[in-house]
Every structure is written in structure tokens, then in C-alpha cells.
Structure 1
């Protein structure tokens, strides 16, 4: 009898492994929780996460709603993309409105005009109103020190708060989703991804992202060493000179707090080359809200922020 030797090698690439892990986590949170939801803002991380969710349940529909906490200070390009993508997938969109919460007296706007901190009570109320026992988010551990501490399944008490000293073990990718009434889980399928992984995956899958992520000439001004684009939500103060510069956004959030970076990267490939050479995270380079203190993000997460 002739022995047949198969010399082919089977294995997963780095991106294949990350994709498989994320899909497993998304399926696990749906299997373990009665009423999950997924945060979707139209930013690159949530776009990738929603793409993974579509893969996880194909050919069926995504079996949960997507949630956006709208500060009223969003970039127009991102909101347009959010609505179009949700429509394409036929997913139910739940919007928690910070402006409506301000009008109703639920929260009070900061004198600085920033609405970043007051997103937290709006997020908690939106989850409570819709009975969402678990929320998936696109946070990654490489973004910020507080996020590096957090588990994939992050337990929140009945006040929506996070205790970094009281987290559940996750040995052998076994996730404990057990909760009591009033408690909830935050889940992070992209925990082990990096910004570079996200862009490599966008390139491989041919995923569309808002044009704001690519370099273009924009009117900007300097504030605290960062380039802020002039828009309806962000205007220069006295003494801040407006000039034209070729910039792009590495992350998108509150337009009053999110800065652009100098860049000539107008394609996915150019963005990948640029990120591979940088040594500062996108939040460190572009988010004014994280410069309040070293523990700014951790303080907000303890209060219930994502």
C-alpha cells in the first residue's frame, strides 16, 4: 500500500486568530446574556466590531441592537456613516441623546462645553431603559492604561460601576457572564487587537470607513499642542490662529475634544505604514479629555463609562 504524505501546513495567521477570538467572544456574550447590545458610533473600532458580528451570525441577521450615545458634538461624516451602515445591515439602532438629557435635567453641561463626562449617566439610563444586560464595545487594551487593566468580560455592579480590584478570572478563555438583577456586563471583543491590527484587518476585508480617517487639507488651529479642525462644534479662541494643514483623524469622538494629526496618508496602505512607525497611541496623540489627569479614563470607567 502506498503511503500518502500530505505536506500541506494548516494554521491561522495573526489576523485569522484575532478574528476567530473576537467572533467567539461575540457569540459567547449572546449565548450567556438575555438582552445584549453593541455600541456603534461609526468609528473604526466599532465598524470592525460590527463587521465581525455580521460574520459571527451569517447568514442570519445580527441578533441584537446597536447603541450610540450621541453627545450632539459628533463629526457629521461619522454620523452619516453610522446611519448608512445600520441601514445596510438592517440592525436596530438605539440612540441615547446627551442633548435631550441636558434638556430634561438628567445631566448638567460642564462650563467648558465638554459633554464627554456627562455621557456616563446617559449611557447608564439608555441601558436601563432598554433592559440591556450586556454591552459590547470596541475598546482595545493598547489604547490606554485603564483599558489595559480590564477583562474581556467586565462586570459592573447595579450602579453601572467598575471596580478594577474586583475582576473575574478568565483562564483558558472561559468567561463568566453570570449576573444578578440590576447588574450588567461590558464586553470587549477587540481587547487583544492593536490599532495596527485594526487597519490591517480593514485592508484585508475591504471595509469602508469614514473619509475623516484619511489625510486631507483641513482648516485647523493649535490648542495644547494639538491640531483641532474648525467645525460647527469646535471654534478657535482669541489668539488661536486658523491655518490650512494636511491632517487626518486617528480616532473620532467628541469633536470639541478630538484632535487631528499631521499626515499624508490618503489610503489604507499609507495609514498602515504611518501607524507602524509611530510610538504614541491614538488617544495619547489626539484626545484632550485624557490629558486632564493620569487617571482620567480610570476615574470615568469607575463611574460607569465604557
Structure 2
């Protein structure tokens, strides 16, 4: 078990529960919980790996892992499922981060699977749903028994069903009926040979928590999370980035707009939002006023059906 970090308080701050302990902030509690989860996994599992895409949630997750084991290095490698349609700014950030911390990066390439015939391009050009097979086969090949993901319960209703420790069977499939109780932050990592556990240290965080933590910790993010001018086109109510992934199509015109991204995934299904929020304070104010989740507002792959995310998770998706 880990203890929550002690924070400085003013002389007028009331003690927690009247026991003379300083009051912990909301972010301190979330950070302490995540650090505890990382250390629990390090103690229970043999070959954990952190899913790292260069998106804000995986960046915060890695930051927490660095804190959990400092001054020692992070005892896990990183895994990125590369669709081949990633934002260049995010891939650059990923590679710089790996080099800066001396980490090992495993890459599962969707393009490689398409080139050798194991996967086929979708008619809509979207590769996000194609990530499942490369991911599950890389987990099996490397014998990873715990896989950290940056999923949060506030993102989408299927993710709200996940436990912090989410058991996956020998085919990497998820069965909501096999969810285990997690009372008092007691996590059950038992699994049979061939099975593994997906671990979600940010489960109880919200998008606003993530941004407030980024501000507090002064964490660098790829620039596309802040307002910038970009050539985009309109499809299904979203602003998408033009690229070699079959966009724009005939009749879809591009225009330069001031936008930013709330979430980052495959360019073919990740929409931008009109925004002039160029600083972290402005982004926080914008999110606090929003009534749409980031995925609900900007992810076309979640709009394929009412149960699109849950269907993909059952097959082995993040």
C-alpha cells in the first residue's frame, strides 16, 4: 500500500477528519490513487506495459508512472498501436518522450498488417477499428500480463463499466459479467495463463481533472491540443484533417479554421472543435463550460452504432 502525498496547507486550513493531518486536494487524491495502482501492478505482475500514443491521457499516465517509481526508472516498456494515420505532431512528441526518459517502445503497425494482407482497409478509410488485431497479437507475442490504458469512466458509457483491473481472456476479449468487485481499493490481479489484465489508473478522473493536473504539473503536450490554424473539411458534423486516408472526398471542400483537438486518435475519425483557447487556462475554462464529452463531440468511430465502443472492447480494443 502507498500513502497519499502530504501537501502544504495554510494556518487556517482545517485538519482532515480532525486528526491533525493536512487536507488533501482533489488532484492529490487522484494522483495518490494512480500511484498506488502503478505500484500494485509492479508488485503483482511480471510483464506490464503502458499503452502510449502521445495523447494527453497517456502522457498524464506516463507522468504518474515516473512519479510512482522515482528516482528509479519506470520498470515498464511502452506500447503504441500505430494506425499509419496519426497526427505528425503526436508521433514526434511520442518519439521525443521515449528518448528523453530512455524508455523502450513497442510499436504494433496497422499499416504492416494491411501490407501483408492480414487486415483490409475499410471503405470509409477509418483505421481506428483496425487496431484491435495488432494490439492483441502484440500482447500475446510479448506475453504482457498487465496493460495500462488511459481510459476514463467519464468518456463513454462502455468505459464507465470497466473496473480499474479489467480481466481479459486468452483471446483478449472483455466480458462485463466477469468484472470483479473493487471495494476499498483492493484490486484482484489473478489471471489464468494466456489471460491478461487491462489496468486503468485514470478511471476516476474527468477530462477537467486531467487538464487541471496538466496545469499543476506543467506537463508539456503536443501543440494540437491548443488553438491553431489548420486545413480541415466538414464530414458528419465534424471538422476532419485532410490527408492520404481518403479525405476529403468529392464535394467536400477544405478551409483554414482556428481549431484545437480535445482528444487525439486516428486522423480519419478524430474531429477538431472550433476554439480560440491557446493557453491551458483558456482550455480549462472551455472544458468547464462544455456539455459534451470529448469522445461524444469528436470521435466518429464511436458513432458507428449505439454500442460501438462496447462491441470493440469485447473484441479486445482499448
- In structure 2, the partner of 1:277 is 289
Q: Secondary structure at the match of 2:317?
A: coil
How high is the TM-score relative to the length of structure 1?
A: 0.96
Q: Distance in 1 between matches of 2:245 and 2:300?
A: 15
Q: Which residue of 1 aligns with 2:217?
A: 205
Residue of structure 1 in register with 2:228 after alignment? 216
User: How far 1:118 moved relative to its partner?
Assistant: 1.6
Q: 1:169 aligns with which of 167, 170, 181?
A: 181
Unaligned runs of 5+ in 2: 1-10, 16-21
Aligned pairs for 1:132-281 (under 5 A) are: 132-233=144-245, 235-281=247-293
RMSD: 1.2
| Match in the other structure for 2:49 | 37
1:157–1:182: 8 Å Cα contact kept in structure 2?
yes
Counterpart Cα distance in 2 of 1:304 and 1:76:
26
Counterpart in the other structure of 1:21: 33
Secondary structure, aligned partner of 2:129: coil
Report the CA distance between 1:87 and its aligned residue.
0.8
Shift of 1:230: 2.2
Q: Does 1:66 align with 2:61?
A: no
Number of paired residues? 301
CA distance in 1, matches of 2:239, 2:79: 29
CA distance in 2, matches of 1:109, 1:181: 33
2: CA distance, partners of 1:118 / 1:26: 28
SS at match of 2:251: coil
Verify the 8 A CA contact 2:166 2:197 in the aligned structure 1: yes
Structure 1 unaligned regions, length at least 5: 1-5
For structure 1, which segment, 259-268 or 230-239, has the greater mean C-alpha deviation from structure 2 after superposition? 230-239
Post-superposition Cα deviations, 1:134-191, rounded to whole Å, max 9, x if no partner, equal 1000000000000001100000011110001221110111000011100000000000
Question: CA contact under 8 A between 2:49 and 2:78: conserved in structure 1?
Answer: yes
95-104 or 180-189: bigger deviation: 95-104
CA contact (8 A) 1:228 1:234 kept: no
- Structure 2 vs 1, CA of residues 285 and 79 (structure 1 numbering), >3 Å: closer, same or farther? same
- The TM-score with structure 2 as length reference comes to 0.92
Q: Distance in 2 between matches of 1:113 and 1:18?
A: 38
Shift of 1:200: 0.3
CA distance in 1, matches of 2:124, 2:146: 32
**How much has 1:26 moved relative to structure 2?**
1.0
Residue 93 of structure 1, aligned match among 102, 105, 110? 105
